[in-house]
């Protein structure tokens, strides 16, 4: 792999993605990993990410043996902080010139014959974020770019295959960043682009067969992209040894349960156990308006129903020699990285409140997506033949419409919200806005009433809130500036077609301060 060394400021994930976009396989390692261990993984190249704004910053992370890393003969690309680390380790000068640069900056390429910059313009826009700056490159390095404030904004030593840039090529504000990264990978490090989702599928199918053998596996389907793709992949590997469980809690959107029951099964041929638990959830939620309480109830009931279904499947297979020993999960690479990047297979204990099961029953996890980013998961899903309606789904919260009704959750209110939501989704899709909008929660203010006039009479109904947001990761979001005509169509249709709704309002709050969901 190409190793991306993470100096701790969230750039590493983006870099790893960009490397994979260049069709080269990459993995993130923490900067605390000993250099000897990094080299033992025989990386094709190493990229040092950004991090603190200066190598002289107090507590700035260090590699245990930076010199060894730069002299091992492995191609290295230092970015921002990684660039300064390369400079200082190899005898260049990084000092406090007062040259702080933050944000979009004009950079001048001084040597167009450079490995990194060939074919890119002499002046280009780059994203800077640094305090101290490099004023002299290490011996043997050619300076290839500068800015108005920084004499050494990039350098390279082709013979030693060491490259560095002060800016962040991985962010889109650096106009030629991807090209520069690809130049490093293909020309500097001599790597052929060959990583494809087809490789992933082949590799994973083999690995799953090896892991599961002739045992059985179960997988919970949520209706979301990750669990669907994980299940499809495992289905491809072990076929009828897999059973999927889908808990219909009645809080899904219109058509979602049918999508899982029909489209997913049609595309994969998976064995599916659908548990209709609508009554159970409605009963448990009766009289509850507090958001946190609702979430807790939904989570609790979900686990109970799932465990019950699981126990039934386990009981059916018990003693057949094909016991259920595996649980499939759609864990993604960012989840792994965020939780510290463990590599072993975790064992989770099943809960003890399941009747008739041995106390110490354990499932081993099968996590075929643990190397992948979300966009790659979508590509794998498409390649496995899953329909776009499943693969391109926007995020939808586990508690479903239960947390999109402000007030008590009842069957009537769910039906009403389902209608309004279906209209909004239909119009957004028709307007071609599905990709631009990260997600658009539709919220029913069930505890609010407002006066309206419809037909010849006064109405006293409920408002529906539209909450279209743009986001990259749901951590932050901005409200989407949607075309007025589309808003108008949604508003007209909802007020005309959904009974008891006489008003549609638009949420124009970014996150922070407002979360994406209302509850």
CB 164 within 8 A of CB 154: yes
- Kindly compute the dihedral angle of the four CA atoms of residues 294, 295, 300, 304, in this order, to the nearest 10 degrees: 90
CB of 474 to ligand XMP, least distance (A): 4
As a whole number of angstroms, the distance between CA 482 and CA 471 comes to: 14
Please provide residue 263's backbone torsions phi and psi, each rounded to the nearest 5 degrees.
Answer: -60, -45
Considering the rule CB under 6 A, would residue 511 count as an interface residue with ligand XMP?
yes
Q: In this structure, what token pair is assigned to residue 367?
A: 């996590």
Q: Does 395 bind ligand XMP (CB under 6 A)?
A: yes
Nearest-approach distance from CB 397 to ligand XMP, in angstroms: 3
Question: Burial, 221: exposed, middle or buried (Cβ in 10 Å; 0-12, 13-18, 19+)?
Answer: buried
Which positions from 446 to 475 touch ligand XMP by CB under 6 A, shown as an x/- string?
----------------------------x-
Q: How far is CA 13 from CA 29, 50, 100, 333, 421, in A?
A: 10, 11, 25, 9, 34
Which of 365/437 has CB closer to ligand XMP? Answer: 437
Residue pair 233/380 in contact (Cβ under 8 Å)? The answer is yes
Q: How many CB atoms lie within 10 A of CB 286?
A: 11
Cβ at position 469, least distance to ligand XMP in Å: 8
Residue 103 C-beta-side C-alpha neighbours within 13 Å: 0
Give the burial string for 313-335 (b: 16+ CB within 10 Å, else e).
Answer: bbeebeeeeeebbbbbbbbbbbe
How many chain residues are in contact with ligand XMP, going by CB under 6 A?
10
Closer of 470 and 515 to ligand XMP (Cβ): 515
For ligand XMP, which stretch binds (CB under 6 A), given 233-241, 259-267, 395-403, 411-419? Answer: 395-403
Comparing CB distances to ligand XMP, the nearer of 145 and 225 is 225
DSSP letter (8 states) at residue 5: E
278 near ligand XMP, rule: CB under 6 A: no
Report if residue 397 touches ligand XMP, rule: CB under 6 A.
yes
- Nearer to ligand XMP by C-beta: 451 or 508? 508
- Measured at the CA of 290, the angle between CA 289 and CA 291, to 5 degrees, comes to 110
State whether residue 508 is helix, strand or coil.
Answer: coil
| Residue span binding ligand XMP (CB under 6 A) among the ranges 16-24, 235-243, 350-358, 509-517 | 509-517
Question: For residues 443 and 431, what is the distance between their CA atoms, to the nearest angstrom?
Answer: 21
Stretch that binds ligand XMP, among 6-14, 127-135, 302-310, 397-405 (CB under 6 A): 397-405
**Shortest Å, Cβ 514 to ligand XMP:** 8
The only residue of 54, 439, 491, 495 in contact with ligand XMP, by rule CB under 6 A: 439
| Of the candidate residues 291, 341, 398, 452, the single one contacting ligand XMP (CB under 6 A) | 398
Q: What is the DSSP string of 195-253?
A: --HHHHHHHHHHHHHHHHTT-EEEEEE-SSHHHHHHHHHHHHHHGGGEEEEEEE-S-SP
In 3D, which of 177, 185, 178 has the Cα closest to residue 45?
Answer: 185
Residue 510 binds ligand XMP, judged by CB under 6 A: no
CB-nearer residue toward ligand XMP: 92 or 399? 399
User: Among residue numbers 107 through 146, which ones bind ligand XMP (CB under 6 A)?
Assistant: none
Stretch that binds ligand XMP, among 154-162, 228-236, 457-465, 510-518 (CB under 6 A): 510-518
Give CA–CA dist 405/414, Å, rounded: 8
Choose the stretch contacting ligand XMP; rule: CB under 6 A; options: 49-57, 80-88, 393-401, 482-490.
Answer: 393-401
Q: Which lies closer to ligand XMP via its Cβ, residue 202 or residue 473? A: 473
User: Binding of ligand XMP at residue 517 (CB under 6 A)?
Assistant: yes
Residue-by-residue DSSP string for 355-420 = TTS-TT-EEEEE-TTTT--HHHHHHHHHHTT--HHHHTPPP--TTGGGGSEES---HHHHHHHHHH
Binding flag, residue 4, ligand XMP (CB under 6 A): no
Per-residue binding letters, 237-276, with ligand XMP (x by CB under 6 A): ----------------------------------------
Closest to ligand XMP by CB, 104 vs 511, is: 511
515 binds ligand XMP (CB under 6 A): yes
> Min. distance of Cβ 396 from ligand XMP in angstroms?
6
- Whole-number minimum distance, CB 328 to ligand XMP, in Å? 17
Please report, as residue ranges, which positions from 474 to 493 form the binding site for ligand XMP (by CB under 6 A). 474
Closest CB to ligand XMP among residues 130, 294: 294
399 binds ligand XMP (CB under 6 A): yes
Count the Cβ atoms, other than its own, within 10 Å of residue 385. Answer: 12
Q: Which residues are catalytic?
A: 80, 168, 170
- Of 68-76, 78-86, 347-355, 390-398, the segment contacting ligand XMP by CB under 6 A is 390-398
Nearest to ligand XMP of 225, 516 (CB atom): 516
Which positions ≥6 away from 507 have C-beta within 8 Å?
Answer: 443, 465, 466, 467, 479, 514
Taking the complex as a whole, the smallest distance from the CB of residue 236 to ligand XMP amounts, in Å, to 25
Residue whose token pair is 């959750």: 409
Evaluate whether 140 touches 160 at the Cβ level (below 8 Å): yes
Indicate the residue among 385 and 395 with the shorter CB distance to ligand XMP. Answer: 395
Contact window for ligand XMP (CB under 6 A) among 276-284, 367-375, 396-404, 496-504: 396-404
Residues that bind ligand XMP in the complex, under the rule CB under 6 A? 395, 397-399, 439, 474, 511, 515-517
């Amino acid at each position: 792999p190409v190793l991306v060394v993470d100096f701790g400021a969230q750039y590493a994930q983006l870099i790893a993605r960009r490397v994979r976009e260049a069709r080269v396989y990459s993995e993130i390692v923490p900067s605390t990993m000993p250099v000897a261990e990094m080299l033992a993984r025989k990386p094709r190249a190493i990229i040092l990410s950004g991090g603190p704004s200066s190598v002289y910053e107090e507590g700035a992370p260090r590699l245990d043996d930076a010199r060894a890393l730069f002299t091992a003969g492995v191609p290295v690309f230092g970015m921002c902080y990684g660039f300064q680390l390369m400079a200082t380790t190899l005898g260049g000068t990084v000092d406090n010139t007062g040259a702080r640069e933050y944000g979009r900056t004009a950079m001048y390429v001084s040597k167009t014959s450079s490995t990194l910059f060939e074919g890119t313009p002499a002046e280009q826009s780059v994203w800077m974020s640094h305090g101290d700056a490099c004023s002299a490159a290490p011996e043997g390095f050619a300076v290839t770019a500068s800015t108005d404030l920084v004499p050494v904004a990039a350098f390279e030593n082709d013979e030693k295959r060491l490259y560095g840039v002060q800016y962040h090529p991985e962010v889109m504000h650096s106009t030629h960043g991807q090209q520069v990264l690809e130049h490093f990978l293909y020309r500097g490090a001599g790597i052929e682009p060959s990583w494809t989702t087809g490789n992933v599928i082949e590799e994973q199918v083999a690995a799953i067969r090896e892991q599961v053998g002739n045992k059985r596996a179960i997988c919970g389907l949520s209706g979301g992209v990750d669990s669907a793709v994980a299940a499809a992949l495992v289905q491809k590997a072990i076929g009828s040894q897999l059973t999927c469980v889908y808990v219909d809690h009645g809080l899904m959107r219109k058509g979602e349960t049918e999508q899982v029951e029909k489209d997913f099964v049609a595309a994969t041929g998976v064995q599916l156990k659908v548990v209709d638990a609508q009554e159970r959830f409605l009963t448990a939620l009766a009289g509850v308006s507090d958001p946190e309480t609702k979430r807790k109830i939904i989570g609790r009931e979900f686990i109970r129903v799932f465990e019950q279904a699981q126990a039934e499947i386990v009981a059916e297979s018990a003693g057949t020699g094909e016991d259920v020993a595996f649980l499939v999960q759609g864990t993604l690479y960012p989840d792994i990285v965020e939780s510290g990047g463990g590599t072993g297979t975790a064992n989770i204990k099943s809960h003890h409140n399941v009747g008739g099961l041995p106390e110490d029953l354990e499932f081993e996890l099968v996590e075929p997506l643990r190397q992948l980013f979300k966009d790659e998961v979508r590509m794998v899903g498409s390649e496995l033949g899953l329909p776009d309606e499943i693969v391109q789904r926007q995020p939808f919260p586990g508690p479903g419409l239960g947390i999109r009704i402000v007030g008590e959750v009842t069957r009537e209110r769910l039906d009403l919200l389902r209608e309004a939501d279906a209209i909004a989704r239909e119009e957004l899709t028709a307007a071609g806005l599905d990709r631009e909008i990260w997600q658009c929660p539709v919220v029913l203010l069930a505890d609010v009433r407002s006066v309206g006039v419809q037909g010849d009479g006064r109405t006293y109904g409920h408002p529906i809130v539209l909450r279209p947001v743009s986001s990259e990761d749901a951590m932050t979001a901005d409200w989407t500036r949607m075309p007025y005509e589309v808003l108008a169509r949604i508003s007209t249709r909802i007020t005309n077609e959904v009974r008891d709704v006489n008003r549609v309002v638009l949420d124009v709050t970014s996150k922070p301060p407002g979360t994406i969901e209302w509850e």
